[in-house]
A and B are shown apart, each in its own frame.
Chain A
Amino acid sequence: MASRLIPLIARAEHAVKAPVFDCRMCGQCVLHSTGMTCPMTCPKTLRNGPCGGVRADGGCEVKPEMRCVWLRAFERSRSLPLPPVWKREFNDLRPPVDNRLKGSSSWVNLLDGRDQKTPKGWGPLHAGCEAS
């Protein structure tokens, strides 16, 4: 029963998140810590902040007509009324994307802890990522 539900949850998640956040269904959602701005919409899919190519007017290096996704994330993480713990996580070192999770529901992956799993060599999700 549950296994039949899972694809439905993924479709529901996509239906909610795609129109609002342009969600790409990476399956390991970090929206809460990135000012409710999806880092997978960055043309370089960067998870750890803006690259050095941001234009002086705030335009994206790759798509100059688009405002840098990380610039938006930075501004929103400050301006949106988000819980302080989410705001603090903005500077976390996020691990490389697990490409196996693409297309799956991050809600399910959050509940069963799948999105917390990192490669053994990386170490635990929140270890050693504190920016001094």
Chain B
Amino acid sequence: MSKKLVIHSAWCKGCGICAAFCPKNALEIVKSKVHLKDDALCIKCGLCELRCPDYAIYVEKEEE
């Protein structure tokens, strides 16, 4: 099973909680929306998903 980080940009309010508490510093806020800097940095831990107040970012498990 592989995991993928998904950003649902329409719901992002740019508060920056996900980026601030990302253990790998893989996220950034550009023009009030979250962006993944580089997929290689992301370890798909899902802490951003737990703390996103707007449900705009999450880790999806993909069945192979």
Indicate whether A and B interact. no
Interface residues of A (CB under 8 A from B): none
